[in-house]
Amino acid sequence: MRAFNVSAIAGFAAAAAIFTGGAASAATFNLTSGYTAVPGGYQYTVDGITLTITAGGFADNATGNVTPGQGGARPYIYSPGVGISYNGDNSHTIDGSGQNDVLILTFSENVVIDSITFGYFDSNDDFDFFYDSDTNGTLNRVLNNVDIPNSGVALLASLFTQSGAWFGIGADGNDDSFKLKSVSVSVVPLPAAAPFFIAGAGALGFFRRKAKKKTA
């Protein structure tokens, strides 16, 4: 009877680890400070998560497929936020004038983007959001012409909940012109449950073998 109780406890611990997983953690990346210059962009690290920002554009407004580095696009950081410049354009904003600009966000692990804070915008500006929805290695537009709130903070989690490591924020109209100030993300470290599951399963096997020896 004692062996049954111990085994049941070990099994319960393993199951609990699977169902509870790791606690969700959040990180906010201030794009105007704490960065390191890397080829083609900038890099930030917050709470163990690394974000690399680069730039690109898209020519086909129907599919919205992003071409990294299109027209020599690269991000530029100023106090109102991060903008984009490319060959023949020195506006330093993310805009749809000349070419449709896209700021590319690459994270070191899968995250859900909770919110985006914009700077240098007006009431007429809206943005497009990009994600590799068909997992073919190309960012494509999944949200089109989303209004930037007067507060400058777009609660993206209410519009798009899929996790990933690669996203884009861009513009496709001549009247759209803005910069990005910060990005807040959440990550649920599901693999963190694995060590608890292994430990629980190991303990379960140990006590079962021990119980068999006692009854042999």
Domains and CATH numbers, the chain: 2-18+193-211 (no CATH), 24-188 (2.60.120)
pLDDT at 60: 75
pLDDT digits (tens, 9 = 90+) for 37-56: 999 999 999 999 999 999 99
Of residues 207, 210, 208, 195, the one with CA closest to residue 14? 195
d(CA 25, CA 106): 18
Angle formed at CA 154 by CA 173 and CA 130, multiple of 5 degrees = 55
DSSP state of 96: S
d(CA 26, CA 106): 16
- Residues belonging to the chain: 216
pLDDT beneath 50, residues of the chain: 1-21, 192-201, 203-204, 206-215
Q: CB–CB of 63/53 below 8 Å?
A: no
pLDDT at 188: 67
pLDDT at 190: 63
Within 10 Å of residue 156's Cβ, how many Cβ atoms?
22
Greatest CA separation found in the chain? 84
pLDDT at 2: 38
Q: CB–CB of 67/59 below 8 Å?
A: yes
| Residue with the two structure tokens 């899968």 | 110
d(CA 196, CA 15): 9
Q: CB–CB of 110/164 below 8 Å?
A: yes
pLDDT at 61: 73
